[in-house]
Structure 1
Amino acid sequence: MKIKTKYHGEIDVKEDGVLNFEQGIPGFAVEKKFVLLPLPENDLFHILQSVSTPQLGFVVTDPFLFTKEFDFELDQGSVDTLGFTDEKNVKVLTILTMKETLHDSTANLQAPIVINLANNKAKQVILNDSNYQTKHLLFAQPEQAGKE
């Protein structure tokens, strides 16, 4: 099917690649179908693009690439909603807030996107863990000048 996108123009996508967010995404409750599109010449970042709203595309990445200690347990309701039967089918992404420089960009670790690759069901899960923020820096900040 053809869709219009924020960053890729009009493209063809396969229907079996459409992710279904049964409850939408917080703040975008009516947006239920998205596709994951690669960024050219970049394996770290993708666009989570709405199928129905061309201007709605989120830059996303695998949070484990940038935050090795990131860990959470998915609640049973989410496990049931997503239909998980095998943890090998779990894909986790985080929405990024891109800044002028990549070094200042942040990741929303408090609300990761969890995808069941076996059935393309997806959900943005809100974590109640105070260790994770909505604006977690992607890269560790260098030590301040003069600090020993």
Structure 2
Amino acid sequence: MQIESSYLGSIDIDVKKILQFPAGLPGFAEEKEFVILEIPENPMFHVLQSVHNPNLAFVITDPYQIYTSYTFELDDYTIESLQITTQEDVAVFAIMTLKEPFHKSTINLKAPIVINMKKQLAKQYVLNLDEYSSQASIQSPPLKEGE
């Protein structure tokens, strides 16, 4: 299937890799199908692209590459709605806000994208934790004494 991407132009995708967001994304409830696109020569970042709206795309990254101690637990409703049976089936991404210069860009640790990769089901999961920011720095946090 061919789609248009605001970041990558016209691109062929495998329909088996289309992620279903049953509730859409906050602010985009009507957009329920997205695909993760690779950014050429940049394995750390990806594009979460709407299948139907070329202008709806988010740069995402694996938050654990920057914040190694990032942790949270999913509630039972989310586990059930995403049909998660094992932790190995789950991928977590964080949406980025790109800024100039790039090192001032941020990632949203407060509302990660949680994906059941086996079932292709996804949700943006809003955390009720004050310790994570929706505008966390992409620069590695300083190590605590003793780490």
Deviation at 1:27, TM superposition (A): 0.7
SS in 2 for 1:80: helix
Matched letter for residue 78 of structure 1: T
Bigger Rg, structure 1 or 2: 1
> Partner residue of 2:139?
139
> Partner residue of 1:86?
86
Q: Which TM-score applies when normalising by structure 2? A: 0.94
> Partner residue of 2:114?
114
Matched letter for residue 84 of structure 1: I
* RMSD of aligned alpha carbons: 1.1
Matched letter for residue 96 of structure 2: L
Any residues of structure 2 matched to 1:124-135 within 5 Å, and which?
Answer: 124-135=124-135
Q: How many residues are matched?
A: 142
Deviation at 1:103, TM superposition (A): 1.2
Deviation at 1:140, TM superposition (A): 4.2
Aligned equivalents of 1:141 and 1:17: distance in 2? 33
Moved over 4 A (4+): none
Deviation at 1:141, TM superposition (A): 7.2
Deviation at 1:7, TM superposition (A): 1.1
> Partner residue of 2:38?
38
SS in 2 for 1:103: helix
Aligned equivalents of 1:112 and 1:91: distance in 2? 10
Identity across the alignment (%): 45
Q: Which TM-score applies when normalising by structure 1? A: 0.93
Deviation at 1:101, TM superposition (A): 1.9
